[in-house]
Structure 1
Amino acid sequence: MRTTIATLALLLLAPLPAGAAPATERAVPEGAPDGLAVTGYALPSTPPEVIGRDAGALTTVTVAAVSLRPDGASVTRPDDRVAALVESTHAVGLRAELLVGNYSDRLGGFDPDALSALLSSDAHIGAVADRLAALVRAGGWDGVNVDLELVRRRDSRGLVAFVTALRERLSDTASVTIDVSASSTSSAYLSRGYRMAELAAVVDAIQLMAYDQHGPGWSGPGPVGGLPWVEKSVAAALELVPADKLDLGIAGYGYLWNPDGTGRTLTVKAARNLVGRAGGTARWRAGAGEWSARLSGGRRVWWSDGRSYDARASLAAGLGLRGTAIWRLGSAGPLD
């Protein structure tokens, strides 16, 4: 899932499904043809036909389904659109994971206070885990993806307790995965609230969000997740967790920077179209493994597309990682 500021305007949280048996009884996917498990994140608004189009490149679809409420003791009600996504996912033989996050529409970003209210209370942890397990059973989901961001270091043990509570309440065939913001040193993971080894001992996979290295609002123009930074972040994570528990998160989007530092998120198609309309030239930056362009008026664009994905998937395969996870379906363009 997208991390911190970068998720603004993208995470429209909602839904839960009705009926539909799990797509598979495997807790961990066998993997796509290249041997990697491949997760595609989806919003409730993702058209079901996008899942059908990309099915051959995926093993799991993770849908942003519910959000933590401000009290940290409950989650929002899923909306009806998610049921169609679960059905479409299972129809093409893929697993469907329910994503629970702490993104707040009210704040326009992730809510660390709600998260702290959850992770600092055994009662809240139990109540939320109970509710998520019930949603999984009722909606025919194959597991839960935990996208709780801006974790305070003092809440790191609570995060381990939360995924443990989920694991205890779900069936043996259901998966539990967790999204972790990438850091380029092993010590930084704990500083950001992630007890990586303890999390890896509980979950089926840690999905490393190796993107948003640069973005308007928090940095000047630069790669969304340049290869050197990605490699350092993966190496740091591998000091703490086994390779077969790690998925490499990959961007399928880009950013536009205006001269004043403001900007916006772009889908891959929108980035290409913008450069074309502006009469700019897209240049492949081999070192970063991404595209960039300079536009009139001092504007800059960087984006990560299918070529970028291939470079990172090769890295993941070469390091023996469990798989990849792309944010997000639809924005990234066709995956085949």
Structure 2
Amino acid sequence: MRKSVKVVMVLMLIALIGFFAYHYIIDMLPNFEQANIEEILPKYQKGRISVIVEDRNIETDYSPEFVDEVLYLPVNLINEYIDPYYYWDEKEVTLTYTTKNKVIRMKNDDLTYFVNNEPLQLDMPIKTFKTDMAYVPVDFIMQFSHIQSEYNKDLNILTIDYVDNKYQTSNVAKEKAYIRIDTSEKSKVVEKLSTNDQLRVYEQIPDGWVKVRSKSGLIGYMKRNDLGAIKDIYPNLEKLQEEPEYNNNKNVEGLINIAWDNIGHIDANNYIKDRLEGVKGLDVISPTWFSIKNSEGDISNIGSNEYVKYVKSQGYQVWALFKNEFNKKITHDVLSSTEKREKVIKQILALASIYNLDGINIDFENVAKEDGVYFVQFIREITPYLKEQGLVVSVDTYVPSAWTAHYNRTEIGKVVDYVIIMAYDEHWSTSEESGSVASIGFVENGLLDTLKEVQKEKVILGLPYYTRLWREEETDGIVNVTSKAYSMDRARKKMDDNDVELVWNDDVKQYYGDYKEDNIVYKMWLEDERSIEEKVKLAIDNEIAGVSGWTIGLAKDKVWDVLVDYLKK
């Protein structure tokens, strides 16, 4: 009896050892179960082309399409992963592509497209495939973008790679090797590979794993010791022809010095001689001549050939200002339409030619947040035409803030010649409290914040050549604040006439004074040659392109001496 019990116990022990040994061996063996396509490609959708961008399987609202063996990509995919400068106007069924020097327009199913208004023939048209999204032939995209694409017909996978980046490759070093879902030999198999199969390598992971993509377009992980040497591949960009740079920055001595000329009607052009008296060291005058007149995109014009002839005879360039008159609705109606933007551009080009201008200064203010994208598109479209005509292009912008971020200075700064900071109106005509037009802190912060977005060689600092006299009247415990703008000389005279002792305020870098009359308090933060000097020092210290003053005719003669001393010596 005892012997049989012992036998049973031995058999049970053997069975137990065998059970644990079996599971130990099973746990030690790799998993060779094939993963399904949904596990390999998380964004997979049956019947649609799966898109791989480098090492990512991306989700697309619109799938790439093949037509007559031509591959088309949807514009939203192009914008997000290849090139942000394809602009699709769904309402007018027009696609616009902008580069530094070209504006290319294409219509749906039309073989004719236009490069800077010159008609050319496409090998294949853009399409819409019964959707609201435009599709562009990939061969067209590759003319302008550093990408390469490959389509795996068997797996219905499109891979897109950026060829302007360094990348890494390797070869399989073993007879059998596996790409897996995760960094574990127990994870499912993505693809079985053989010796010398080539892969792209994206990431080397601790514990001896690497992230790879196979020739078939599948992404996963491999053991590092299954691969040979990892090689760096450097880009070859000879296939793209670089666009020539238009160098329209007119040569000036020292830093550039601009002054706007605020002209409200045609007759005011006749007084430019008077406004130039006492002026020194000026390079450019920007008369406020052109504006959008209505929602159809017609341009209001008060320009003068006699003005241009006289100003140029005095050695100055003329960069006419083009504005939107602060009208949000008209600005939206015009800028949101491809046809109206093009209409505006053609008129500005014609006016620039008629008046023999040297540049255009674009001053669009009070642009609604939702219209920021249209404003940037307009700048990208008008700039190549203006530069092609030999014109300097400048854009006026507010000091950076949350409510002006939609002006997108970074994108504007990529294409225009100059970005001018309107570093004034810190307290403006309808401000609810009195204050400086441009305290030194306001100006410096505006300049430094702009330099975070725009290269310094393109930045111009806007200066105020005016001062506000603030009027504070208290009624029933409520202080009502109003103001009036004064030229520098008139502002100083106003203070002197009221026997005001002006005191230098080092915090704002301006003289301050106030007086009381009939229970009304008058205050002034004075702009003069000393306050302007402090602002110009910022331009010098930060090595920017120059300054621009609002407006000629308001500055003291001594201000021009300061500008000459700092900008021209």
Q: TM (normalized to structure 1)? A: 0.83
* 1:54, distance to aligned residue in structure 2 (A): 5.2
The CA deviation string for residues 272-329 of structure 1, in whole angstroms up to 9 with x for no partner, is 1111111212223232122221022311112322222221111101101111110000
CA contact (8 A) 1:29 1:37 kept: no
Partner of residue 530, structure 2:
307
* Cα distance change of structure 1 residues 50 and 200 upon mapping to structure 2, 3 Å threshold: farther
Q: Is 1:236 aligned to residue 449 of structure 2?
A: yes
Q: Is 1:96 aligned to residue 318 of structure 2?
A: yes
Q: In structure 1, how many angstroms separate the alpha carbons of the residues matched to 2:274 and 2:507?
A: 31
Unaligned 5+ runs, structure 1: 1-24, 104-109
Q: In structure 2, how many angstroms separate the alpha carbons of the residues matched to 1:231 and 1:254?
A: 19
Match 2:500 to one of 268, 272, 280: 280
Q: In structure 2, how many angstroms separate the alpha carbons of the residues matched to 1:94 and 1:118?
A: 32
Partner of residue 182, structure 1:
399
Partner of residue 114, structure 1:
330
SS state at 2:308 partner: helix
SS state at 1:273 partner: helix
Q: In structure 1, how many angstroms separate the alpha carbons of the residues matched to 2:299 and 2:434?
A: 36
Q: In structure 2, how many angstroms separate the alpha carbons of the residues matched to 1:267 and 1:188?
A: 29
The CA deviation string for residues 139-176 of structure 1, in whole angstroms up to 9 with x for no partner, is 01111100110111221221122222222222352111
CA contact (8 A) 2:513 2:523 kept: yes
The CA deviation string for residues 220-250 of structure 1, in whole angstroms up to 9 with x for no partner, is 2211111111111111111111111110001
Q: Which amino acid aligns with 2:430?
A: G
Q: Is 1:144 aligned to residue 360 of structure 2?
A: yes
The CA deviation string for residues 40-87 of structure 1, in whole angstroms up to 9 with x for no partner, is 0002336322564355321111010011113151111325xx333322
Match runs of 1:1-336 below 5 Å:
27-32=248-253, 35-44=254-263, 45=268, 47-50=271-274, 52-53=276-277, 56-71=280-295, 73-79=297-303, 82-103=304-325, 110-170=326-386, 171-183=388-400, 185=401, 187-190=402-405, 193-259=406-472, 260-297=480-517, 298-334=521-557, 335-336=560-561
RCO comparison, higher one (Cα < 8 Å, 6+) = 1
* Cα distance change of structure 1 residues 172 and 69 upon mapping to structure 2, 3 Å threshold: closer
Which deviates the most, 138-147 or 283-292? 283-292
CA contact (8 A) 1:51 1:88 kept: no
Unaligned 5+ runs, structure 2: 1-245, 473-479, 562-569
Which deviates the most, 249-258 or 151-160? 151-160
CA contact (8 A) 2:420 2:461 kept: yes
Which deviates the most, 305-314 or 130-139? 305-314
SS state at 1:123 partner: helix
* Cα distance change of structure 1 residues 57 and 237 upon mapping to structure 2, 3 Å threshold: same
Q: In structure 2, how many angstroms separate the alpha carbons of the residues matched to 1:320 and 1:275?
A: 35
Which deviates the most, 48-57 or 170-179? 48-57
Higher fraction of strand: 2
Q: Which amino acid aligns with 1:28?
A: N
CA contact (8 A) 2:250 2:392 kept: no
Q: In structure 1, how many angstroms separate the alpha carbons of the residues matched to 2:255 and 2:466?
A: 21
Partner of residue 50, structure 2:
none
CA contact (8 A) 2:469 2:486 kept: yes
Q: In structure 1, how many angstroms separate the alpha carbons of the residues matched to 2:471 and 2:276?
A: 36
SS state at 2:293 partner: coil
RMSD between aligned alpha carbons?
Answer: 2.0
* Cα distance change of structure 1 residues 272 and 240 upon mapping to structure 2, 3 Å threshold: same
* Cα distance change of structure 1 residues 208 and 72 upon mapping to structure 2, 3 Å threshold: farther
Q: Which amino acid aligns with 2:395?
A: I
CA contact (8 A) 2:276 2:553 kept: no
Q: In structure 2, how many angstroms separate the alpha carbons of the residues matched to 1:51 and 1:60?
A: 14
Aligned residues: 298
Q: In structure 2, how many angstroms separate the alpha carbons of the residues matched to 1:50 and 1:242?
A: 36
SS state at 2:299 partner: coil
Q: In structure 2, how many angstroms separate the alpha carbons of the residues matched to 1:72 and 1:306?
A: 44
SS state at 1:218 partner: coil
